Structures are given as C-alpha cells and as structure tokens.
Amino acid sequence: MANIKSGKLLEIISLGQSKAKQFTNYQLPITNYPLPITHYPLPMPKIIFLDAVGTLFGVRGSVGEAYTKITSRFGVEVSPELLNQAFLQSFTSATPMAFPGVDFAKIPEMEFDWWHKLAIQTFQTAGVFTKFSDFSSFFIELYKYFATAEPWFLYPDVKPALERWQNQGIELAVLSNFDSRLYSVLKALNLADFFTSITISTEVGAAKPDPQIFLTALQKSSFSAVEALHIGDSFKADYQGAKAAGIKAILLNREQTSADQIPIIEQDFQQCTSLDILYF
C-alpha cells in the first residue's frame, strides 16, 4: 500500500490549458520547474498499465483508521495515528510481496502469511499486541475486510479517464504489487470490467520495480514495450520500474510532491496530478 494516508483530493480541472497546467514536464538542466506540458495532447499508447492502490483507489481515511475498526470488535482500543505510524514503519521495512518458485496453488497461503507477519510486527511496534486474546481470529477478520470495498475509496478521476481511454480503443490493464484480493476489490469497486488483464507481484514472483513484472504484463498483451504506457504513484516502483523495462511512464503525483523530493529527474520525466487530465 504505497499511499498510507489518503490526502486531500485534488481539484479536477476540466478544460483546455487548465488541464495542461496540471501536467508537468520536468526537463534538465532547467531548474525553474514544474513547467506546463509542451506536447499536449500525448501520443496515444496501444495499452495503458495502471497501478492499483494510490492510483485507482486508496485507503479510506488511513490504514490505522481501517485497522481500528476491526480491533474495536476484539476489545482492543488503540490510537489510529499510532497504529498508522507503526504500519508504515513495518511495511517499508518488509520484504517484497513476491514468492518466486512457489507453486501457484500455495500463493494465497503465502500472501496470508506475509500479511500476518506484517500485522504482528505492526501491533508489536504499536505496543498493543499482547492486548489481543486471540490475534489469529482478529487477523482473519482483518484480512477478509481488505478484500471488500469498505476500507477503500475510488478516486473521482478514475472512471472518467478509464471510460474515455476505453472508448478510444486503448487496452487497459492493472499492474500492482498487491495480492490476489485485488481481483475481488476491483469487482467490488466496479472496475474489473475495464481491464483485459491483471498482473500482481505475488503471482509473477517479482515485485515492482523489478522489470520482470512489467515484462510479464506485456506478455499477456499483443503489444510491445514501445506501444505501452505505465501510470502509477510511486517514483521508484512505477516510474523507474517501467522505464527499466523499456516502457514509457508517467508518475501520478496526487499529493503534489515537490520536484526537489524526487531523487532523479530525467530529461523526459513526466508527471500528472490527476488521471482525468491525460488526453491522447
């Protein structure tokens, strides 16, 4: 879950130059950026790969708030802010959610175990793990909860963009470091029918930014890397990962992270603050 805290939803500007100004093209060695896009509209790709969490949908409120809805059912009271901080610390230090060489039938069990260990670490870090009389039962309910629509919200720019691109004949696909619950989440959010394929790290055995997951997603289509575009909210996992696989990439910068916080800016680096402003 790259977007731990869902921030203020950005204003969607719908017309002309206003759209272009939300899309920036950072170019070295110019230092006075962001700059308005200079080649708008964009060349049309044959296929667009989209990240899931932080791109299509986000956590409602925060992970900490979502967790405490379930902890309260088990008689454990904990600050959502404390739990969110503990989750972020545990998540960022966790190993990639990918299981190379594992039999496909065992992947759901491996996914469950990965999240179970992460949850234990999270609640230990928050100092409340020992308050549970039956942590296993709690975690089973928590795990099922995140397979539903309830803890998630759909970004308002998503469906208009997907509908427009689909009407243009662009193939759409999901490429995510999620687990197999993504299939049910996409259905619950009424997004599944937009996509011709869903590629997740646990089934590939490689997680973004590893080029292998991008190449696997490409193999599910009839298109080459130069005909594809990837859009996601992580500079490292999505933007750099796609570029390493030879795929054009756009960083979805919903939180409007400033340029000096992006570690590497290439001459053709592109970002946008909303999917709804991307026209082809």
Each residue's pLDDT tens digit, 71-82: 999 999 999 999
Say how many residues make up the chain: 280
CATH 1.10.150.720 at 61-145, yes or no? yes
pLDDT the model gives residue 173: 99
| pLDDT exceeds 70 at position 132 | yes
For 154-194, write each residue's pLDDT tens digit: 999 999 999 999 999 999 999 999 999 999 999 999 999 99
> DSSP assignment, residue 169?
T
Confidence of residue 272 (pLDDT cuts 50, 70, 90): confident
| pLDDT exceeds 50 at position 128 | yes
The C-alpha atoms of residue 182 and residue 259 are separated, in whole angstroms, by 31
Domain boundaries defined on the chain: 16-58+152-277, 61-145
- Which is more confidently placed, 195 or 40? 195
| pLDDT exceeds 90 at position 55 | yes
CATH 3.40.30.10 at 16-58+152-277, yes or no? no
Confidence of residue 256 (pLDDT cuts 50, 70, 90): confident
What is the 3-class SS of 216-266, one letter each residue? Answer: HHHHCCCCCHHHEEEEECCHHHHHHHHHHCCCEEEEECCCCCCHHHCCCCC
CA nearest neighbour of 140 among 113, 121, 122: 113
pLDDT the model gives residue 259: 59
In this chain, the answer to whether the domains covering 16-58+152-277 and 61-145 adopt an identical fold is no
